[in-house]
Structure 1
Amino acid sequence: MAYGEAWDLQKRLVGEIDRQERGDSLLLVEHPPTYTIGTDRHPEHLLYGPDELARRGIQVFQIDRGGDITYHGPGQLVGYPLLYLDAAGLDLHAYLRTLEEGIIGLLAEFGIEGGRKPEYTGVWVGDEKIAAIGVKFNRARTRRGFVTSHGFALNVKRGVEAEGFQGIIPCGIAEYGVTSLESLTGSNFGIEEIGERIVPHFARVFGYDSVVNSEENRETLAR
């Protein structure tokens, strides 16, 4: 799904969740080559000029999530949790840690020890980042709380590290590299396979009892 289309879809669904016309949702997509620049706004961390971006077919979006610049593209599973969070006892940092925990649980399925770096958001394997996280908390209009948007980008396919990340300083972090699930395991995976496997971990860490995951739902979202 094109990035702009997914962003518009998020905004529409955030409104529906706010108005209680829809339940909490998790969008799982794969994007064409895209750089997104969050609210930290460090344009110097984009290393390619307009000509090189055009040659490589990479679009650039300045968006409303937190954080700096990152890459989305083929070989990466991107997840957008759209969840209502009640304002009572709300801990925004705990939400980020819970997102990380779901990805760490998925990695453990493959014998990979994912972890955190205290100074950075995201999921790491040693000194290499495998999943970036950047979110927005949209203040609800009809009730007392927030609806989340944006989310995580998990590197799955081997080669995604060099394909897009070489054109940026990812999240403004120059001293560490990035890695992928295939590079760490030596196995090959489909993006949809990993998408299906992450859903139970997401449901577990956020405390959902049941999940609706169907082709019909996918077609409804795509329209």
Structure 2
Amino acid sequence: MTEIGEQITHPVLKEYSNEIFGLPSCRLSTAPVTYPEAVSEMEAHIAAMRTGEHDELLWFLEHPPLYTAGTGAQESDLLSPEKFPVFKSGRGGQFTYHGPGQRVVYVMLDLNHRGRDVRRFVQQLQNWIINALNECGLQARADSAHIGVWVDRPDLGENRADKIAAIGVRLRKWISFHGISINVSPDLTHFNGIVPCGIADQSVTSLKALGMDISMTELDEALIKTFQSSFEID
């Protein structure tokens, strides 16, 4: 179990200038972080943001295997409650899985300065993921019916699309926390214990399952590189 003090400034930042890219602080946890630890750290950080003690933060991490239930979760969508620990989460959305091989980024931004528009913020998060995946060589898209990011799979059937990234956020006094998760190389069978995001008729995928050899560091670099263009302030 990692200690919060083991967070480091993300090494990818050495390649980029905050002045050029307008980045928030970017922190990387080098060992898996338990969900209660992550929530506690986010709560403390956004409280300090409100008083001006902390700046905006993108926190890059992985979790040990677990399920989280968002505010819209239906009990019937938890198919195997004994499989992994289950945590209630204050974020929006339904059930999701987190675990090794999945990049989680907790996004703590001050929308008082970026625009008080929840719908626009979620669209920016979707665009950020899409832009980063495109930087890695993968075409992905949003879905007008569901929040998240999807990859079309015509090889598996007409109109087939698999989900590669999830979004679940919460706002407190217009400061965001929780964030995004992107499947790099997780064990996809671990999603079988839930109905991911309440969508029973579509599957999940990962960069690895799509035959793409993209490391976590390479994905992080793409996310950092595309942040400013995805979150332009009017």
In the alignment, does 2:188 pair up with 1:161? yes
**Which residue of the partner structure matches residue 110 of structure 2?**
84
Structure 2 residue matching 1:12: 3-state secondary structure: helix
Q: Does 1:48 align with 2:101?
A: no
Which portions of structure 1, spanning 4 or more consecutive aligned residues, are displaced by more than 4 angstroms?
none
1:93-104 aligned within 5 A: 93-104=119-130
Matching residue's letter, 2:231: F
TM-score of the aligned structures, taking structure 2 as reference length = 0.78
Residue by residue, what CA displacement relative to the aligned partner does 1:35-67 show, whole Å, maximum 9, x if unpaired?
0000013111111143xx2xxxx2110010011
Aligned to 1:181: 207
Distance 1:191 1:88 in 2: 28
SS at match of 1:35: strand
Of 160, 177, 191, the residue aligned with 1:149 is 177
8 Å contact from structure 2 (residues 133, 219) kept in 1? no
Contact 2:107 2:178 in 1 (8 A): yes
**Counterpart amino acid of 1:43?**
E
Question: Is 1:119–2:153 an aligned residue pair?
Answer: no
Q: After the TM superposition, which of the residue ranges 115-124 and 86-95 deviates more from structure 2?
A: 86-95
Give the alignment's TM-score, normalised by structure 1: 0.81
Question: One-letter code of the match for 2:119?
Answer: H
Q: Tell me how far 1:181 sits from its aligned partner.
A: 1.2
Code of the residue aligned with 1:85 in structure 2: it is L
Aligned amino acid, residue 150 of structure 1:
H
For 1:194, the equivalent position in structure 2 comes to: 219
**Gaps in structure 1 of 5+ consecutive residues:** 140-145, 209-223
Query: In the comparison of the two structures, how many residue pairs are matched?
Result: 193
Which of 148, 164, 168 is the matching residue for 1:130? 164
Of 57, 75, 79, which residue of structure 2 is paired with 1:25? 57
Alpha-carbon distance in 1 for matches of 2:223, 2:178: 17
